[in-house]
Structure 1
Amino acid sequence: MPFLIHYSNLDKQAFLKSLEEKGFKVKPFGGGTYILDIPEDGTKENIIDRLAELDKHFLKGLRLSYVPDEVSLQSRDALIRTLLNMKTFDKMIEEFLVYQRKEILDSLYAVFQPIIDLRHFELFAFEALCRGKLPLYYLMKFAKPILETIDWTCREKALKKKKEEIPPPIKIFLNFFPESLQNVRIASERLFELLNKNGISPQEIVVEITEYAGFDVKKLKQLVKEWRELGIMIALDDIGTGEDSLFRFLEIMPDVIKIDMVFIRDIHKNKVKRDITRYLINLAHANDMLVVAEGVEVPEELKVVYELGADLVQGWLLGKPTEHPKAFLYTPIASKLKQWL
């Protein structure tokens, strides 16, 4: 089933080229509109899934409407109805999610990105990330009613894979969103139920708090205290970004902080980034915390964060997210690090 689309941004040629690269068939229709289809399987679901892979900048300028077929647009009344029914891509996704709950949950799977120990030149942990038929951005924005279910489904699949492919003492970072911690008692029970089910020790878990808005700080501090006493480590993500990240740092006093990639990208070319990163590392070490430098993509960035004293490092240079973490266990990490450092 094709779509009639209209693109309002100025970079229309770049947008059309991006569509073609994704396998779409794009045909000019008139008045600045286009017929959009996928030759091999042009169902509504496949088209929306494929469009969701585009850059968010492109999607903001896109309006679209379902059409049964191109022939139906030859009717003036049908064309007018189609034009009046055009929606933004965000609105289309919102409606799509209402009817696709089961398909969305079934499509979820975990991928794992390695976190490397720069003190001992070895694998420290994997961060479990969630993937599915739609990017997490859209699920976070539009799937609020089922976001908690999505969050726990991802966590369950990640722990199952941990049991199968990631032996102790290698840890796994599990992301937690506010929706999953509204009731801290239930959240704690669910987590330990999953750990017991998969035979995983709390000492193998790092709970990563990925967003701060929406958390009840008092309840969160209570939960953190309980989990830490049982051997779970607590990590705070995106330290240094957001107006309240340092406040959360003071309130929670985590075991691990993750310095956002905005400070790591091109750090070898930017003195201010080096100064900020050095300050955050010194602050963490003064309080017996480990530091993860996120988003390391080139050897020059790795060398700088190593010299500044980062304990752990994560990024595409060290390993991209993979569905099969077991394969990474045989990577010669030490020889690679020695080559770059």
Structure 2
Amino acid sequence: KQSITSQALEVTQGEATDIAIRDLKKKYEMAAVFGRLQRGEQTQLANMDTTFQLGDQVAVVGDEEEIARIAGIMGKVLPYRLPYDRTEYDTRRIFVSNPKIAGERLATLNLNEKYAAIITRVRRGDIDILANSNTVLELGDRVRFVARRTDIPKLSDIFGDSYDDLSRIDLLSFGLGMAMGLLLGMVTFQLPGGVSFKLGFAGGPLIVALLLGTLRRTGPIVWALPYSANLTLRQIGLILLLAGVGVNSGHTFMATIAQGGGGIIFLAGAIISFLTAVATLFIGYKLLKIPFSFLIGMVANQPAILDFALEKSQNKLPNIGFTLMLPVSLITKIVYVQFLFAFLR
């Protein structure tokens, strides 16, 4: 989980002066955002064309380790935050609820040219993301910025800043996505040897959702759901899935176990699942150095297990691992069963 903080630095190194912030960040590969700049008695907002002078004090937003590295390049860390008069500049968090800017990069908004404003971070769910020109906005994001007080109402209009709008689902994009997914699930794919398969009503919407999520938007249609609506639908879907599995399979579970060989099959399945998961986690984490949260998402392969992984990891990496592996495993199982059926019949 990225720890983003803000600290004040004083410029004491000549290497950081007389060079635009744009070139300075590129030269030293700085992953941070420069905010308020104190030069003598004057306070201003730093932009990409700003050049530092010796004695300047500037607020820097970024990871603690990165800020410490930048301080070694530019000067020293100050033991206090920069004071400023809130009658001129202020800090706000506002919601992204305007579908016109959802799916757009921050660079395309040209906020620095139109307004005296700097976006320092974007909060998505419970995670703070350091803002940069390539950050893509999504509905439900909360952007934090420093701006001139007179520009704040205009910025609120640009981003939307409406919690009520975020609670609604765009029925057009949602309905189109579901329809395309169901249609894809009904398509029959032919394989060599006379084998055919369908993605079904689970695989079809999943593949379409991945494709549309990559596109983010098509013209005026925004494919991404607001975060709150997305989370609500996921929870409802998980409840319906578990309820359906329980109703359809619960009454036959004990009968299957009681039959001859049922217990052995159940035990063998448990052992195979356990050993496969342990081997994947060990090789991925210890040998390949893949983040553990990412791995448990890959191993999950079921929405219920994914929900448990998200709760324990306290970050969104399991979602990425789950999204990468589920389509592959789903299609592989469908194709494998078809080949197995054709071979054994």
TM-score by length of 1: 0.27
TM-score by length of 2: 0.26
- Taking CA–CA contacts closer than 8 Å with sequence separation of 6 or more, which of the two structures ends up with the larger relative contact order? 1
